[in-house]
Structure 1
Amino acid sequence: MFGRNSNSDQHIEPGDVVAVVRRVFAENGRDYLGLYAMATLCMLALAATTAFSAWIMRYIVNDLFYGQRWDLVPWICGGIVVAFTVRGFATYGQAVLLARVGNNIVARYQQRLFDHLLKLGMPFFTASRSGQISAQISQNVTGIRDLLNMTVAAIARDAVTLIGLIAVMLWQDWLLSVMAFIIGPPIILAVNYIMRRLRRVTRESVEINSHLLGAMQESVQGIAIVKAFTMENVLSRKIAQLVYQAEERNNKIARVSERMAPITEMVAGVAIAGVIGYAAWRASALAEPPGAVISFITALLLAYDPVRRLARVQVNLERALVNARMIYEILDLKPQQGDAAGAGVLEVSAGEVRFDKVRFAYSQNLPVLHGVSFTARAGKTTAIVGPSGAGKSTLFALLQRFYDVDGGTITIDGQDIAEITKVSLRSSIAYVSQHPYLFEGSIRDNIRYGRPDATDEEVEAAARLANAEEFIKLQPEGYETLVGENGVTLSGGQRQRVSIARAIVRNAPILLLDEATSALDNESEARVQEALERIMKDRTTLVIAHRLSTVVNADHIVVLEDGLLVEEGTHRALVRKPHGVYARFHRMQQEKAENLLEGTAGLPSEMAEEEAGGSR
């Protein structure tokens, strides 16, 4: 039931209620036709028993008590028992069936939204806050369910019940019925007024609540920074302001939507009182048996509930429609980086990566790369160095097609990556980020994300190569130990080694290392670097490095500055250029190391070695 494609090309105008309802039913109605048919039968039975309760009052009063037809007692009592038994089962059936449909709709749209989010490009997530996205989804996904269920309930239960009761009223007394119908026009006018006010307030409420839940989620995720910088009071005031705004909007929604209650009650009271007064006068003046009037009044009183619910349907539907529209605003976003028409599958033979006059800007006024050209030779290690903001990480993002280049080309073995599928491209690349991210699950699960079909033996072999097995075996359940949110139960160095093991188990021909050993201590760095050197053999490896000591053995070094390639060559060749950028970085890092060594001169030997080791 989750595989049906949406009609996402249908654009919804803010006020186009019919378009939203039509789209929701077009996407879901067929799948739930059987369940809705059974729920409708239950509702029809419920409506019939309600009408029966009013209709039989005439015979109870006139024949049973007024006419003293005691022989009818078993039939009338039996009919009432049957009616209420049917009513009970019908109520249960329609409630369970609608709940089943509603729960499946929520599950369907949650899965559909998540799958669609995964298809959207990095620009969407760069411009959106993750907490607000998840909060908006959790709030709005029920709008589709409510829209369907309320529509079905309004038609099959309330409308049919009202029609049945009106038929009873007309059968008993058409003149009294006309008097009762004066309740309609005032309620319709009130609904239209409230609906317009509610639409805007509801959307504001949803947006404020998404900001509130998003801020709370981000505060929990960054709790270490919150406490380290004593931000508790600042964030508490920020959350308090959002909580107050959310409370005010919710109170306003309550005031607007509940305005139906006094209007409906007052108009209904006038109508019912008028009917009862006229009926009483007619009974006393014309000496008519009271059965028909009592049956009519019973039907009128029973009709009040469906009338009240139907009057509120438009109001409640408007709230659900706001939620549904906001869900479709996400679902209607087109992925900006779809595969090109006829895109082929990347075939990596050697693994040569070539950047040719690559230009890129995150926005029109924020250029990052200005015609960068270099080649990462197959099976060799190419290091990319330069100051922060030079464009090093952007090259990695472009190579993985998180973004598309504005000019120039990137090729792998002569194949333009813009003309191959993203899946085949990214399947050929293993990536180790400077900031490792671990997902919910066990350590073994997180390593296996590199290649889902990896065996336990391959996972454990990758952990050994990444120098991770030692600390993994010290965990309470070894490889099956669950990591906290983003691996919070592990140290930074441990998370990085799990991330490296994930890249190792991927066994891809191209390896990207974004300062992969930055979070490790000296001893672990040395062992992990040794492991990386083993897996880097016969692989095309691109390394981003800030510490030049990690790239001295690279086969080729590319130096970026302000989005331009300013130098390239080997470490030995670049340090010989006295006025070169690389040579300047090298001198600065040497001077820093020497200053640290001088500062440890008066320390005990063990401490001096530790301080000096930190600069290597």
Structure 2
Amino acid sequence: MKPAERRLRRELPVVRRHLTTSAGLALLGAVLVVGQAVLLAGLLADGVAGHGPQRTALAALGTVLALRALLAWARGALAQRAAAEAQRALRERLVERLRHTGPRRLAARRHGETATLLTRGLDALDPYLTGYLPAMAATAVVPPAVIGWLWWTDWASALIIVVTLPLIPVFGALVGMHTARRTARQWRLLARLGGHFLDVVAGLPTLRAFGREHHQTGVVREMADAHRRATMRTLRVAFLSSLVLETVATLSVALVAVPVGLRLLAGELDLRTGLVVLLLAPEAYLPLRAAGAAFHDSAEGIAVAERVFALLDEEEPTAAAPVASVIPAAPVTPVTPVASAVPDGRTARLCLDAVTVHHPGRAAPALDAVSLTVRPGEHLALVGPSGAGKSTLLALFLGFTAPDAGRVLVDGADLAGLDPDGWLTQIAWVPQRPHLFAASVADNIRLGRPDATDAEVRAAARAACADGFAEALPQGYDTVLGEHGAGLSAGQRQRLALARAFLKDAPILLLDEPTAHLDPQSEAAVSRATAELMRGRTAIVVAHRRGLLPHADRIVTVRAGVLHPDPAAEGLVLS
């Protein structure tokens, strides 16, 4: 018995009650099995002897069969209820544990694995609680009861069963160890797939902005295919093990049946006793065969229980396990554009021509007939209250949002008609809350340019003032971050996002409140890095604080989806 199984029984009263109830029902079932065999043997023996059927014996046999059917229904219903209560108890304990770890420690875990564990994972306990546990209770009760009755009836047959019965658990254990390893690997692949998929979905806007979303189609497909192969290998082992157990049980019953037949022919055994032995011998092996078959169905549930208890016992947050990097190690093969050629971003003039945007569920437009022109190399600052439409304006230039009316123009060409991938290669986007993936620091920076060398990655980090804290991490640039950059401050995450932009070296820069939610020291560092990044590029900066305003050529206020130029800000130049 594995430690997780012992702990389930020790810490969950419902599991202990379920085991006790299953043992009691199994004992009652053993009594009914013996009674059924005795009654049926008597009826068959009397029929052969010419005494004819006995109504009392037939009624008794019918009653026993009805009781066995009722017992099977009760066993299944009680097992389902116990399984539901046990899963609910584990979910509550796990959720309570995660709630008290705090957001920072919770973010350090693999959210996808935890979500898989709370849903699909705990559901895998069903076969263990409804199949394997009752079967194990039956193995402790039914074989001794059947062998005891057979010993009193025909000790020679009982002795053969006693000798051959251990073969089934021996072969089952040999195959079970192999199955447990394969099932554990299958669960790890499923948890890895869930974690990676969640990470990709959460960071999809970032991947789209850097043109790396196509790479993830292949990565997710490969991970899903690995899980499929592991599942099929586990199923093959389970099917083969069932064949082994059935073969051993069949041969063991044959070892009992052949001597009984020979003794019947020799007149050394009466027909009634021989029939009782032949009817009861398979029942002695049946619980062990059922337990062996149920073990393979329940192996995933045991692996899940081990992971649940590992999370419950976790004292300190550990570094997130490396997953398949969301950042390709080599350039993605470019998609052949089917749209118009993209103008050169270094000389492109960006325009909004009477653009109106409505967000679902909002009556007022996010942008209302907005017109704006950004000259090549100009630094434009957008200010205004939250919800005024500043981020929507950036989304228009990124191509993430399509206008309901009006046009977004790039050197006179409608953005809707340009190749989106080609356009995004000319833009570096730094959002207000940049998404960092569960990968190394270097890989997170390398999202800006996947083919960049280590030296180029470090140079970009120095330009963004991120080299100091990056080199101080336990494994430096190879340190694997938690989800969403867990373990780093907001300022450090912002500087890594700026390092991406430095590495990409795109001619157009879109910054969405890069200094928001930062402490004064972090704000000063990010402001210096941002000012350096803006040099020689067309830049549109959404700013809530004044740290970046002195570096803007023009300031435009956005209120209720309408632009209000600020003439007093003209003349501010990049220092």
Q: TM-score range by the shorter chain?
A: 0.5 to 0.7
The equivalent of 2:83 in structure 1 is 102
Mapping of 1:513-524 within 5 angstroms? 517=385, 519-521=387-389
Could you tell me whether the CA contact under 8 Å between 2:112 and 2:196 is conserved in 1?
A: yes
The match for 1:56 is 39
Q: CA deviation at 1:119?
A: 1.1
Contact 2:128–2:294 (Cα < 8 Å) also in 1:
no
1:138 equivalenced with 2:116 (yes/no): no
Q: CA RMSD in A?
A: 4.7
For 1:242, give the aligned amino acid: M
Q: How does 1:38-53 map to 2 (within 5 A)?
A: 38-53=21-36
Q: Which residue of 2 aligns with 1:65?
A: 47
Per the TM alignment, residue 257 of structure 1 is displaced from its structure 2 partner at its CA by 3.4
Match of 1:589 in 2: 549
> How far off its partner does 1:147 sit?
4.8
Aligned to 1:560, the other structure's residue is in SS state helix
The question of 1:251 aligning with 2:232 is answered yes
Cα pair distance change 1:122/1:34, threshold 3 Å: closer
Residue 277 of structure 2 is aligned to residue 296 of structure 1:
yes
CA distance in 1 between counterparts of 2:244 and 2:23 reads 30
CA contact 1:44–1:160 (8 Å) conserved in 2: yes
Aligned length in residues: 382
Q: 1:240 aligns with which of 204, 221, 226?
A: 221
Q: Which residue of 1 aligns with 2:138?
A: 157
Summarize the alignment of residues 202-217 of structure 1 with structure 2, pairs less than 5 Å apart. Answer: 202-217=183-198
- Aligned with residue 175 of structure 2, among 194, 198, 203: 194
Contact 1:168 1:299 (8 Å CA) reproduced: no
> 1:438 corresponds to which residue?
none
Deviation at 1:237, TM superposition (A): 1.0
Aligned mates of 1:259, 1:326 — CA distance in 2 = 27
What corresponds to 1:310 in structure 2? 291
Question: How far 1:125 sits from its partner (Å)?
Answer: 3.3
Partner of 1:177: 158
TM superposition shift of 1:78: 0.5
* Corresponding position: 1:28 with 2:9: no
CA offset at residue 516 of structure 1? 10
The aligned amino acid for 1:520 is A
Contact 2:23 2:138 (C-alpha < 8 Å) held by counterparts: yes
Deviations 1:23-54 (A, max 9, x none): 2222112x566666555544333332222222
Mapped to 2, the partners of 1:103 and 1:232 lie a distance apart of 40
Q: Does 1:272 find its partner at 2:256?
A: no
CA contact 2:238–2:296 (8 Å) conserved in 1:
yes
Pairs within 5 Å for 1:375-390: none
User: Residues 262, 471 of structure 1: CA spacing in aligned structure 2 closer, same or farther, 3 A cutoff?
Assistant: closer
Q: Distance in 1 between matches of 2:288 and 2:512?
A: 75
* Amino acid paired to 1:20: A
The structural deviation recorded for 1:99 is 0.5
Q: Is the 8 A contact 2:18 2:82 kept in 1?
A: yes
- CA distance in 2: counterparts of 1:108 and 1:139, whole angstroms: 16
Mapping of 1:188-587 within 5 angstroms? 188-221=169-202, 233-286=214-267, 288-312=269-293, 318-334=299-315, 474=363, 517=385, 519-521=387-389, 559-560=520-521
Report the CA distance between 1:278 and its aligned residue: 2.1
Residues 108 and 244 of structure 1: is their aligned pair in 2 closer, same or farther, counting only changes over 3 Å?
same
Instruction: Tell me, yes or no, if the aligned pair for 2:82 and 2:129 is still in contact at 8 Å.
Output: no
Which deviations, in whole Å up to 9, do the C-alpha atoms of 1:537-570 show, x marking residues without a partner?
xxxxxxx99999x99xxxxx9842588999xxxx
Secondary structure of 2:521's counterpart equals strand
Specify the SS of the correspondent of 1:69. Answer: coil
Q: Give 1:588 deviation, angstroms.
A: 6.0
Aligned match of 2:502: none
Separation (CA, whole Å) in 2 of partners of 1:301 and 1:547: 74
Supply the distance in 2 between the matched residues of 1:237 and 1:203 (Cα, whole angstroms): 24
Q: Deviations over 1:564-610 (max 9, x none)?
A: 999xxxxxxxxxxxxxxxxxx9696245243989xxxxxxxxx9965
Q: Residues 403-448 of structure 1: CA distance to partner in whole angstroms, max 9, x if unpaired?
A: xxxxxxxxxxxxxxxxxxxxxxxxxxxxxxxxxxxxxxxxxxxxxx
Letter in 2 for 1:56: L
- Given the two structures, how large is their TM-score scaled by the length of structure 1? 0.52
- 1:8 — aligned with what? none
C-alpha distance 166-612 of structure 1, shift in aligned 2 (>3 A): farther
Distance in 2, matches of 1:116 and 1:232, equals 34
Q: Residue 315 of structure 2: SS of its match in structure 1?
A: coil
- Note closer, same or farther for the CA distance 1:27–1:148 as it changes in structure 2 (3 Å cut): farther
Q: Which amino acid aligns with 1:27?
A: E
Partner amino acid for 1:207?
R
| Greater CA drift, 208-217 or 85-94 | 208-217
Comparing 292-301 and 120-129, the one that deviates more: 120-129
Q: Find the aligned partners of 1:248 and 1:286 in 2 and give their Cα distance.
A: 57
Gaps of 5+ in 1: 1-16, 337-361, 364-469, 476-489, 494-514, 526-543, 552-556, 567-584, 598-606
- Paired AA for residue 196 in structure 1: M
- Could you tell me which amino acid in structure 1 is paired with residue 168 of structure 2? I
For residue 37 of structure 2, what is the amino acid of its counterpart?
A: A
Distance 2:201 2:525 in 1: 40
Q: Secondary structure at the match of 2:165?
A: helix
CA distance in 2, matches of 1:216, 1:292: 63
| SS of alignment partner, residue 388 of structure 2 | coil
1: CA distance between counterparts of 2:273 and 2:58?
19
Aligned-residue offset at 1:184: 2.9
- Does structure 2 conserve the Cα–Cα contact (< 8 Å) formed by 1:21 and 1:147? no
Does the Cα contact within 8 Å between 1:170 and 1:177 map onto a contact in 2?
yes
Q: Check whether the contact 1:40–1:94 (CA below 8 A) recurs between aligned residues.
A: no
Offset at residue 61 of structure 1 (A):
2.5
One-letter amino acid of the counterpart of residue 560, structure 1: Q
Q: Give, as a single letter, the amino acid of the residue that structure 1 aligns with 2:32.
A: T
Q: Secondary structure at the match of 2:54?
A: helix
Query: Quick one: distance in 1 between partners of 2:180 and 2:315?
Result: 26
Aligned residue number for residue 477 of structure 2: none
Measured in 2, the distance between the counterparts of 1:587 and 1:299 equals: 87
Q: Tell me how far apart the structure 1 counterparts of residues 2 and 200 of structure 2 sit (CA, whole Å).
A: 40
In structure 1, what residue type is equivalent to 2:521? L
- CA shift in 2, pair 1:591/1:234, >3 Å: closer
Counterparts of 1:292 and 1:330, CA distance in 2: 56
Q: Which letter maps to 2:169?
A: I
- Is the 8 Å Cα contact of residues 79 and 129 (structure 2) preserved in structure 1? no
1:596 and 1:612 in contact (8 A); partners too? yes
Contact 2:37 2:276 in 1 (8 A): yes
The residue type paired with residue 176 of structure 1 is S
1:79 Cα deviation from its structure 2 partner: 0.8
Contact 2:242 2:293 in 1 (8 A): no
Q: Is the 8 A contact 1:139 1:323 kept in 2?
A: no
Relative to structure 1, is the Cα distance of residues 231 and 18 closer, same or farther in structure 2, using a 3 angstrom cutoff? closer
Deviation larger for 220-229 or 188-197 = 220-229
Deviation at 1:124, TM superposition (A): 2.9
Deviations 1:437-466 (A, max 9, x none): xxxxxxxxxxxxxxxxxxxxxxxxxxxxxx
Q: CA deviation at 1:95?
A: 0.8
Shift of 1:521: 3.0
Conserved in 1, the CA contact under 8 Å of 2:168 and 2:288? no
Separation of aligned partners in 2, 1:79 and 1:190: 38
SS in 2 for 1:121: helix
Contiguous gaps of at least 5 residues in structure 2: 321-358, 369-382, 394-490, 495-510, 528-544, 571-575
